C-alpha cells in the first residue's frame, strides 16, 4: 500500500463512460431493491421464485432476441457457466442462511461485500480510491448495518446459517469478479442470459429439496413474476453486468448497499412496514454518503489515493 498524489481528472470520454456506468448501476440496484419487495407479496418459496423468475427472463429475452435474429451461442454459454453457477450458489446460500440464522446476521454479512471487492480491486486490478472514498463507503456500510440492527426484533443466530451467509457473500463477490473479467469475452446481454438459464436450472431442484412447490403459479402471480424477471433481470443483472466493466469494481459493489435502502423505503411506502426514527436517520446518512461518493468520481480533488 502506498500513498501518492491523486491522478489528474480523467479525459472527457472516460468521464462519460464512468457516468453512464454509474447511471446503469443506480438503475440496477433500484431494480433489485424493488424486486425484493415484490418477492414478499408472492406465495411461492424463495427458491421457487428464483427458478421461475430467471427462467421467465431467459424465455422472454430469448424470444425477443430471436425476432432480431440474435441467439445465444454455445461458446458464449460455456464462457458464462462460472458466473451462472456462482449466482445460483448465492441464491441458494442466502436462502439457506435466512432459514437457519437471523435476517440481521445474513444481511450484515452480505453487506460486507464492498470491503472484499475493494481489497480485490486494489490488489489485483490496480484500482485506486481516495481515502475520502473509503471513508464515505464505510459510512454508507455503517448506515446499512444500523438500519438492519435497529429493525431487529427477534431470531436466534445459528453458526451453520452464518456460514451459509458467508457462502452467499463469497459467491456474490466472485460473481462480480467474473462479470468484470467477462469484458471483451462475452457481451453483457449474453452473459446475463446464460447465467439466468443456469440459475433457473440449478434452483428448481433445490426448491424441491427444500420442500418448496414448483406448481404452476396463479395467473395473478405471473404479473409480479414477469415484473421481477424483467426488472431484476433486464434492469438489474443486465445493467449491472454492463456497468461493472465501465466503473471500478469497488464502486459498483459499494452501490449495492443501496439495495436494502430501496427495498426498505418501498416496503415502508407500499406495504406499511414500519421504519423507526433511527432507521430513517441511518438511511439518510447512507444515501448522503453514497451520493457524495458518486458525485466525487467525476470531479477528483487533490487527495491521497490507496493502491
Burial annotation 144-159 (CB, 10 A radius, 16+ → b, else e) = bbbbbebbeeeeeeee
pLDDT score of 2 more than 50: no
Residue-wise pLDDT for 156-189, tens only, equals: 668 888 899 999 999 999 999 999 998 889 999 9
pTM for this model (two decimals): 0.85
Q: Which domain holds residue 116?
A: 3-306
pLDDT band at residue 239 under the 50/70/90 scheme: very high
Element (H, E) at 305: strand 304-306
Model confidence band, residue 46 (pLDDT cutoffs 50, 70, 90): confident
- Burial class (CB within 10 angstroms; exposed 0-12, middle 13-18, buried 19+) of 103: middle
State the pLDDT at residue 72. 95
Residue 13 CA, distance from chain mean position: 27
Evaluate if residue 133 carries a pLDDT over 80. Answer: yes
Residue 145: half-sphere exposure toward Cβ, Cα within 13 Å: 11
Residue 4 has pLDDT above 80, yes or no: no
**Residues 72-127 pLDDT 10s:** 999 999 999 999 999 999 988 988 887 787 777 888 898 899 999 999 999 999 99
Q: How many domains does the chain have?
A: 1
Tell me the pLDDT of the chain averaged across its residues: 88
Q: How confident is the model at residue 3 (pLDDT cuts 50, 70, 90)?
A: very low
> What pLDDT does 5 receive?
47
Reported as a pLDDT band with limits 50, 70 and 90, residue 300 is low
21-40 pLDDT tens trace = 999 999 999 999 898 888 88
Q: What is the pLDDT at residue 158?
A: 80
Amino acid at each position: 500500500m502506498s500513498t501518492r498524489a491523486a491522478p489528474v481528472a480523467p479525459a472527457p470520454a472516460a468521464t462519460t463512460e464512468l457516468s453512464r456506468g454509474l447511471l446503469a448501476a443506480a438503475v440496477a440496484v433500484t431494480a433489485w431493491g424493488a424486486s425484493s419487495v415484490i418477492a414478499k407479496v408472492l406465495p411461492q418459496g424463495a427458491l421457487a421464485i428464483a427458478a421461475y423468475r430467471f427462467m421467465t427472463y431467459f424465455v422472454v429475452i430469448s424470444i425477443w432476441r430471436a425476432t432480431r435474429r440474435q441467439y445465444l451461442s454455445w461458446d458464449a454459454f460455456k464462457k458464462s457457466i462460472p458466473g451462472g453457477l456462482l449466482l445460483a450458489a448465492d441464491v441458494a446460500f442466502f436462502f439457506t442462511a435466512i432459514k437457519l440464522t437471523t435476517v440481521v446476521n445474513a444481511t450484515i454479512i452480505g453487506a460486507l461485500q464492498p470491503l472484499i471487492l475493494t481489497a480485490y480491486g486494489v490488489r489485483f486490478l490496480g484500482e485506486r480510491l481516495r481515502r475520502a472514498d473509503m471513508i464515505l463507503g464505510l459510512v454508507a456500510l455503517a448506515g446499512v448495518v444500523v438500519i438492519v440492527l435497529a429493525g431487529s426484533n427477534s431470531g436466534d443466530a445459528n453458526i451453520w446459517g452464518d456460514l451459509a451467509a458467508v457462502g452467499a457473500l463469497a459467491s456474490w463477490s466472485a460473481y462480480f469478479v467474473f462479470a468484470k473479467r467477462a469484458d471483451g469475452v462475452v457481451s453483457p446481454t449474453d452473459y446475463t442470459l446464460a447465467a439466468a438459464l443456469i440459475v433457473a436450472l440449478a434452483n428448481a431442484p433445490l426448491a424441491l429439496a427444500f420442500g418448496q412447490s414448483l406448481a404452476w403459479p396463479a395467473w395473478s402471480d405471473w404479473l409480479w413474476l414477469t415484473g421481477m424477471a424483467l426488472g431484476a433481470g433486464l434492469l438489474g443483472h443486465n445493467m449491472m453486468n454492463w456497468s461493472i466493466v465501465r466503473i471500478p469494481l469497488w464502486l459498483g459493489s459499494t452501490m449495492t448497499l443501496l439495495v436494502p435502502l430501496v427495498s426498505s423505503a418501498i416496503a415502508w411506502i407500499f406495504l406499511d412496514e414500519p421504519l423507526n426514527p433511527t432507521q430513517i436517520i441511518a438511511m439518510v446518512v447512507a444515501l448522503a454518503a453514497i451520493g457524495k461518493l458518486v458525485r466525487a468520481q467525476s470531479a477528483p480533488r487533490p487527495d491521497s489515493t490507496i493502491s
